Chains A and B, each alone.
Chain A
Amino acid sequence: MAKTHVTMKVNGTEVEGLVEPRTLLVHFLRENLSLTGTHIGCETTHCGACTVDLDGMSVKSCTVFAVQAQGSEILTIEGVANADGTLSALQEGFRMMHGLQCGFCTPGMIVRAQRLLQENPRPSEEEIRMGISGNICRCTGYQNIVRAIQYAADKINGVEFKEAAE
């Protein structure tokens, strides 16, 4: 099948490549651009490990063709840190609150949570849980992931993070 030329902006950088139309966005990111932070978990649109931000939407990049992302702006976990290389509020939250164990789901969780906090800067615990309901974690039981996102929301809002009473 003839290859198609695609261009997009990934983590602020213009990129291009030749892809077959059937190339999934996650394969383009990982194999053409060597951005392997975006993980392939289930490959069946369930687990959310491959979540990236595409033109302001959280999408599962295993279920989008690279050709559909032609001309779009994409953010992956590699583009999440602050410009000076320090950890973003979410990354710091995951570190401080022990929001990961094996870490496989973490790139998708953080990219998803970043979009969630942009749309809803002060989410309730319930809204956080619903907001990450497309991302599966098999280690943490989610408790510390929720805390990590609460930590980041408080930091972004300039409020001191206080653990909710158990």
Chain B
Amino acid sequence: MIPGSFAYHRPKSIAEAVGLLADLGDEARALAGGHSLIPMMKLRLATPEHLVDLAAIGDLQGVRADGADIVIGAMTTQHDLLASEEIAKSLPILHEAALLIADPQVRYMGTIGGNVANGDPGNDMPALMMTLGASYRLEGASGGRNIAASEFYQGAYFTALEPGEILTSISVPLPAAGHGYAYEKLKRKVGDYATAAAAVVLTMAGGKVATCAIGLTNLHETPLLATGAAKAVIGTSLDATTLKKAAAAAEAIMSPAADARGPVEYRKHVGGIMVTRALQRAAAGAK
């Protein structure tokens, strides 16, 4: 379980990091918390010749409010998110979800940037970012650009990130005041990826759903927005028939892999249950 040899670089700025990645080419990988990459390197499933460690870049750290957005630096760890009063106050669904990621030790190292940029369908934050309508800031040697989370994921481990680019921050628009939220994640044990998980952010008006977004984790090779299911609940009071209709609409777009977490039919079935539970809990918490 010893990784292959590599050269280690520790740039101090974003410009220096993207310069290194451009110079070193395909054999270089950016290192964030390392808790996806280092296990892959130990198995020799990843054998980068250069690691560009982003840990010393101050501009990639921290959570701040910027107008109507909360901006989260890519190297902000899950532990930092849990400790952030801004997140607890403005984006409580991220606090709730971060607690369901891995275990305490991994949360001290694992970063939100790594979580969303890696393209692993099992990661929780991508579906949450799509549900919240977040966008990512990407920086490369030839400049920066913004991309919506909903346009970032192309396939398992395939994203819109171009060679040499790094994801530097995430901008999340503040959800409406009084919104309800829930992230329901079924997993076999602490530290496991989701068998199925659903994120819901909604607002209620007069006992009926006014707006709703639903995201799905680990139920497809990319995170999904369940737009049909969300549309089905708008204007309803989430009665039993509506919940059934929403779960069926969400299940219709799921195509999970059959793995140790269960066969396809089971994972879709519990995926529908996660959607139902998340809708109910989000509605109960909405003001």
Q: Is the CB of B39 within 8 A of A63?
A: yes
Q: Is the CB of A134 within 8 A of B106?
A: yes
Known contacts A65-B38, A134-B190, A57 near B5 by CB under 8 Å: no
Min CB distance A50 to B, Å, is 9
Known contacts A46-B191, A134-B190, A1 near B104 by CB under 8 Å: no
Complex Cα spacing A134 to B3, Å: 23
Contacts of A116 in B (CB 8 A): 104
Known contacts A48-B103, A133-B190, A21 near B7 by CB under 8 Å: yes
Q: B241: CB under 8 A from chain A?
A: no
Q: A112: CB under 8 A from chain B?
A: yes
Min CB distance B100 to A, Å, is 11
Give the bracket for the number of chain B residues in contact with chain A. 20 to 34
Q: Is the CB of B2 within 8 A of A22?
A: yes
Cβ-closest chain A residue relative to B9? A21
Total A-B Cβ pairs within 8 A: 79
Min CB distance A117 to B, Å, is 13
- B residues touching A (Cβ–Cβ < 8 Å)? 1-8, 10, 31, 34-35, 38-39, 41-42, 51, 53, 55, 79, 102-106, 108-109, 190-191
- A residues touching B (Cβ–Cβ < 8 Å)? 1-2, 4, 20-22, 24, 43-46, 48, 51, 57-60, 62-65, 67-68, 70, 112, 116, 130-134
Sample (14) of A-B pairs whose CB atoms are under 8 Å apart: A1-B5, A21-B7, A22-B3, A22-B41, A57-B109, A59-B108, A63-B39, A63-B109, A67-B8, A116-B104, A134-B102, A134-B103, A134-B105, A134-B190
